[in-house]
């Protein structure tokens, strides 16, 4: 589903956290939203899934203004894995994932066999089936993250919003989650802290800096050493992956960063005591 962001301004105080943002996100594309801490990534995503009303501008999903659509229509179209979601700690993992079917049920409907099949499939593809009957409160951070993703997928969204989806995940599960959503043929917008994963998996990288778009486009157009130095204060090299040729980003500290201390070296102030 195509999403157009037009002159979007939003925030929490008189000073907007994002301002004047224009983006045109193509149907079925995978977009990484990157930027330093506090640059406005979550704020922007919240305006899309209607957790924060913009103070100016529009979000057009397909042909409709997101903020004029009935709440239920948005819930049916937009799946969310948010940064501060809880996911039903009192429920089992299967029950928590089944909550994703709610927008598709009538007020008095109970989950039917077709819904149960969707829930089972989403748990399987996200690797949650093994702990389907365990209470969410007993799961590890990474297991819980996968349950929340399964719940978002159980909505069968046409736009999937992921706010730091790789948080808590080991490397294998980070790859699995991003490969999975990339292969679904739906529009995905993911706030990511790993610039390397952003470049490797996404069609488009959007860089936010101070609430404004500092760059947007294909990874090799946007992830340039100059832009990444300016926005993140790091040195970066974009190289083709030696195996599959896709873009990889090597990041190192900027030359003016505090000096790197060798692993295992005692901090200066402790040395006298340990000598
Ligand atoms: N609920 C809130 N109330 C007040 N200010 C907020 C709130 N949420 C975010 N902010 C502020 O808005 C700005 C943008 O925050 P936001 O969470 O969008 O950044 P982010 O790019 O997602 O950051 P991070 O990478 O640290 O998650 C920050 O200055 C932040 O302190």
pLDDT digits (tens, 9 = 90+) for 105-127: 877 778 889 999 999 999 999 99
In this model, does residue 267 exceed pLDDT 80? no
Contacts of 201 (CB under 8 A, 6+ apart): 30, 32, 178, 179, 182
Highest mean pLDDT among 137-141, 173-177, 190-194: 190-194
In this model, does residue 266 exceed pLDDT 80? no
191-245 per-position pLDDT tens digit: 999 999 999 999 999 999 999 999 999 999 999 999 999 999 999 999 999 999 9
Q: Say if ligand 1 is within 6 A of residue 38 CB.
A: yes
pLDDT interval class at 86 (50, 70, 90) = low
Residue nearest to atom 3 of ligand 1 (CA): 12
Mean pLDDT over each residue of the chain, to the nearest integer: 90
41-58 per-position pLDDT tens digit: 999 999 999 999 999 999
Q: Is residue 52 part of a domain?
A: yes
Q: Is residue 187 part of a domain?
A: yes
Sign, CA torsion 33/208/193/86: negative
pLDDT of residue 72: 87
Q: Is residue 275 part of a domain?
A: no
CATH number where 119 lies: 3.40.50.300
Domain span holding position 52: 3-220
Query: What is d(CA 159, CA 111) in angstroms, rounded to the nearest whole number?
Result: 23
In this model, does residue 161 exceed pLDDT 50? yes
Six-digit token string for 67: 């903020």
Mean pLDDT within 123-147: 93
The Cβ of residue 16 has, within 10 Å, a number of other Cβ atoms equal to 20
pLDDT of residue 273: 47
Which atom of ligand 1 is least distant from the CA of 39? 21
In this model, does residue 148 exceed pLDDT 70? yes
In this model, does residue 35 exceed pLDDT 90? yes
pLDDT of residue 147: 94
Q: Is residue 91 part of a domain?
A: yes
Q: Say if ligand 1 is within 6 A of residue 51 CB.
A: no
Q: Is residue 246 part of a domain?
A: no
Q: Is residue 265 part of a domain?
A: no
Residue nearest to atom 19 of ligand 1 (CA): 38
Residue nearest to atom 25 of ligand 1 (CA): 37
Residues in the chain: 275
Q: Which of 29, 54, 32 is nearest to 44 (CA)?
A: 54
Give the number of domains in the chain.
1
Residue nearest to atom 4 of ligand 1 (CA): 12
Q: Is residue 262 part of a domain?
A: no
Q: Say if ligand 1 is within 6 A of residue 42 CB.
A: yes
Q: Is residue 162 part of a domain?
A: yes
pLDDT of residue 59: 97
Query: What is d(CA 3, CA 189) in angstroms, rounded to the nearest whole number?
Result: 10
Cα of 207 from ligand 1 centre, angstroms: 15
What's the N-to-C CA distance of the chain in angstroms? 63
pTM of the model: 0.90
pLDDT interval class at 270 (50, 70, 90) = very low
């Amino acid at each position: 589903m195509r999403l157009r962001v037009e002159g979007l301004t939003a925030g929490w105080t008189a000073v907007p956290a994002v301002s004047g943002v224009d983006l045109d996100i193509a149907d079925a594309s995978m977009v990484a939203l990157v930027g330093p801490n506090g640059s406005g990534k979550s704020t922007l995503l919240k305006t899309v899934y209607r957790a924060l009303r913009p103070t100016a501008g529009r979000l057009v999903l397909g042909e409709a203004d997101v903020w004029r659509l009935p709440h239920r229509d948005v819930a049916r179209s937009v799946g969310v894995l948010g940064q501060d979601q809880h996911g039903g700690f009192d429920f089992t993992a299967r029950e928590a994932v089944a909550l994703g079917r709610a927008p598709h049920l009538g007020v008095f409907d109970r989950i039917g066999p077709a819904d149960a099949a969707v829930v089972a499939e989403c748990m399987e593809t996200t690797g949650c089936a093994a702990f389907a009957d365990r209470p969410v409160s007993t799961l590890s951070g990474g297991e819980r993250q996968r349950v929340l993703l399964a719940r978002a997928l159980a909505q069968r969204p046409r736009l999937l919003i992921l706010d730091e989806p790789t948080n808590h995940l080991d490397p294998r599960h980070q790859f699995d989650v991003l490969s999975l959503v990339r292969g679904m043929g739906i529009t995905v917008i993911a706030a990511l802290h790993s610039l390397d994963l952003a470049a490797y998996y996404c069609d488009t990288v959007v860089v936010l800096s101070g609430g404004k778009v500092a760059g947007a486009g294909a990874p090799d157009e946007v992830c340039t050493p100059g832009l990444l130095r300016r926005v993140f204060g790091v040195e970066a090299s974009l190289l083709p992956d030696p195996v599959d040729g896709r873009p990889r980003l090597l990041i190192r500290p900027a030359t003016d960063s505090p000096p790197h201390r060798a692993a295992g070296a005692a901090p200066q102030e402790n040395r006298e005591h340990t000598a």
